[in-house]
Structures are given as C-alpha cells and as structure tokens.
Amino acid sequence: MNFPQLLDALHQTSTSAPIAYLQSQNSNLTTLADEDKGGAGPFRPLLDDLLHSSSPSSPKSKPYPEWAAEAIGKEPEATNIWIGTSKSRSSMHRDHYENLFLVVRGTKTFTVLPPTEGHFLSAEGEG
C-alpha cells in the first residue's frame, strides 16, 4: 500500500473496512534513504512539517524537534512515526528507551505501567 492509498483507507467510514495504520520503527522517519531525493527518506516531508509546526525556530539539520532533546536532556535515540484513526490500537509492549509523543490531530490514550508490575506481563515470545 502506498501513502495515498493509506490516506484513502484512513478516511473509510465503513464499519467493515480494515483498520488502517502506518507504523515506522528503527528511526525510519529520519534514516530510511531514498537516493532519488538526495538521500532523504520517504517520510522526510512529514518530518519537515512536524519540525516546522512544533519547533519553528529549530534548525532543519536536526532530525527531531528541539523540545524533545530538552525534555530528555539529549538527542532522541530514534524518531519514529505512527499514523492511525480512532479505531487503530497499539498492542501492549515494553520499550527499552524513553518515549515522547506528539499528537498532531485527535487523541491517543496510553496505559503506562510501572516497572514493578512487569512480572505480571509476559515477554515477547512467552506464553
């Protein structure tokens, strides 16, 4: 599915339509190269728009919003993207590094558990 098809799928209102979403991991928002565009990844226009709207004074040479580095005291280890609708859900998982989220439109609800509750959850691949 290409990006225009994803946008069309996100606008489907039928209750029987598949739930569409886009998820990019491993800092693909900034590192997935597209040589035809001078090495900029396919999500670079989205990143540029995000950087301009969330940190207008941030230099474009930095692949993350300035406020993100200020919040955690260093450059983010990864810059990922997730696009979905109110029907889209993320599965319960554990991240091994900090997370900062910028909701561009709509809402996203998070359930965050303290590390002391980790023994109640099974690790990936466990029953």
Task: Report the distance separating Cα 21 and Cα 83, nearest Å.
Answer: 5
Q: Dump pLDDT digits (tens) for 21-40.
A: 888 777 777 665 554 555 55
pTM of the model: 0.63
State the DSSP string of 33-83. --GGGTT--TTHHHHHHHHHHH-TTS-TTSSS-HHHHHHHTS--S---EEE
- Long-range contacts, 116-119 (Cβ 8 Å, 24+): 118/94
Average confidence score pLDDT of the chain: 76
Q: Rg for the chain (alpha carbons), in Å?
A: 17
Task: Report the distance separating Cα 52 and Cα 49, nearest Å.
Answer: 5
Residue 73 confidence (pLDDT)? 92
